[in-house]
Amino acid sequence: MSCYDLSRLLFDLKMKDSVYEKALTDFEDVMANYELTAEEKTALRDGDPRKLRQLGVHGMLCLYIKRLQPEFRDNIYWQQK
Amino acid sequence: MPLVSALAASHAPNILLEPGSEWEDFMDLHYSMAPKGSSNRPTLEQQKKLRQDAEAAFAVLREDLERSHPDVLVVVANDQFVNFFWNNIPTFFVTVAEEVKGQFTRHRFQYRNHKELGNAIIRAGMEKGIDFSYGENIELQHTQNVPLYFLLREPSIPILPIYVNTWVDPAPSPRRCYQVGELIRAVAEQSKERIAILATGGLSHFPGSPRIGEIDEKFDHRLLEVLRDGKGKALADYSVQELLQAGDTEFLNWMVVIGAVGDAKASYTAYMPDFVATGWGFVSWRSL
């Protein structure tokens, strides 16, 4: 099963500041720009990388969902590529 | 001219992150994939010791590199969703830009890119049945920047980034990577320039996996022993699946350099598991 759009959203959260900034204020609106299933949207809202991995997303992309969580927003990881 | 220097080194981000809060950040994020992994965090003193040991290993490699007086450093590494995504995943990619740059936390990197050598490798590959992808616009990332920080901090010579897909399934076979290395060696031997080569990545680690924190030290030690014996070609018999099981798919980058050095024995090896995620490995081949 392809999860291209789900993976793309997670990729954009790290690589595109505009997507990240928008997601902080209106994540539902950001998700609407990608073709996501209801299950994928639920996993994104939950913010648990392990659930995203179960949907077939590459493990490292799964971690990118953590960028939206307050305790991870200043993590040094976002300053490296 | 034969290759003048060959090196391999891990590119784990925490090698260059500062012990303390930056390491904690690194562990906080990665262990969110496997919370139980966080029960075995190294102390600040252990982190500092690891950094010192890595710096000592890099110092040996840097001395070997400088002693060889290279005109260019070929850097074989993998992308990690910085330049390539599922709209296009190249198995092997050669950079033909004028210059390349990137950033790692507060460290900035900028080098001239040796696109003439890049084009020579691409054309030689097409004659020999290895069809590289290539392009002019890439961004350096930790897979290059971490080793370059310790080995070539001042951009005194150009580099040539070559990418191997070690990151997304399916990846090329170790044997194919070895053949790419043989090709690079053949191009070097036809060149009047002094060409050095560096592979980055590994050793055992499981990023983005529930196995994060596991390190297959036994497998890593076996790899290094084979390299010391000058029998790296035998490693081409491994399957990608075997490397994957050991957390060593980035060893595919190393296989390119192993193909380039042939039967040469590694003159220096060092290994240190970081207790966090990765078995850090360092190799130099002085006699090529």
Residue-wise pLDDT for B197-229, tens only, equals: 999 999 999 999 999 999 999 999 999 999 999
Burial of B65 (0-12, 13-18, 19+ CB in 10 A): buried
Q: How many helices (H) and strands (E) does chain A have?
A: 6, 0
Q: How many helices (H) and strands (E) does chain B have?
A: 9, 11
Query: B77 in helix, strand or coil?
Result: strand
* Measured torsion, CA atoms of residues B42, B43, B46, B47, in degrees rounded to the nearest 10: 80
Q: How far apart are CA B112 and CA B99, in angstroms?
A: 4
CA distance, residue A29 to nearest chain B CA (Å): 23
Residue B40: per-residue pLDDT: 75
What is the ipTM metric for this complex? 0.94
Q: Which residues of chain B are under the pLDDT cut of 50?
A: none
* The model scores a pTM over 0.90: yes
Residue B37: per-residue pLDDT: 59
Task: Give the closest of A4, A49, A60 to B80, CB-based.
Answer: A60
Residue A2: per-residue pLDDT: 80
Residue B131: per-residue pLDDT: 98
Q: Which long-range contacts (CB under 8 A, 24 or more apart) does B28-32 make?
A: B28/A71, B28/A72, B28/A75, B29/A63, B29/A66, B29/A72, B29/A75, B29/A77, B30/A63, B30/B207, B30/B208, B30/B212, B30/B276, B30/B277, B31/B212, B31/B213, B32/A49, B32/A63, B32/A66
Q: Which chain A positions have a beta carbon within 8 Å of B102's beta carbon?
A: 81
Q: Which residues pair with B273 in a beta bridge?
A: B279
Residue A1: per-residue pLDDT: 59
Query: Taking the CA atoms of chain A, what radius of gyration do you get in angstroms?
Result: 12
Query: Which H or E run contains B199?
Result: strand B195-200
Vertex B15 angle, CA B171 and B211, to 5°: 50
Query: A26 in helix, strand or coil?
Result: coil
Q: Contact A80/B207, CB-based, under 8 Å?
A: no
Calculate the average pLDDT of chain B: 96
Residue type, A52: L
Cβ pairs A/B, distance under 8 A: 74
Beta pairing, strands B133-135 & B92-95: parallel
Query: Which H or E run contains A68?
Result: none
Q: Which chain A positions have a beta carbon within 8 Å of B106's beta carbon?
A: 79
Beta pairing, strands B72-77 & B5-9: unpaired
A53 touches chain B (CB under 8 A): yes
Interface-testing mutation among B14, B31, B32, B47, with chain A (most A C-beta atoms within 10 A): B32
Q: How far apart are CA B78 and CA B81, in angstroms?
A: 9
| CB-CB contact of B198 with B64 (8 Å) | no
Residue A15: per-residue pLDDT: 95
| Overall average pLDDT of the A12-26 stretch | 97
Phi-psi region of A69 (alpha: psi -120 to 50; beta: other; left: phi over 0): beta
Residue B220: per-residue pLDDT: 98
Phi–psi pair at B227, nearest 5 degrees = -70, -40
Q: Which residues pair with B77 in a beta bridge?
A: B163
B142 touches chain A (CB under 8 A): yes
Beta pairing, strands B107-112 & B92-95: unpaired
Residue B148: per-residue pLDDT: 98
* Measured torsion, CA atoms of residues B230, B11, B75, B173, in degrees rounded to the nearest 10: 60
Q: Contact A59/B33, CB-based, under 8 Å?
A: yes
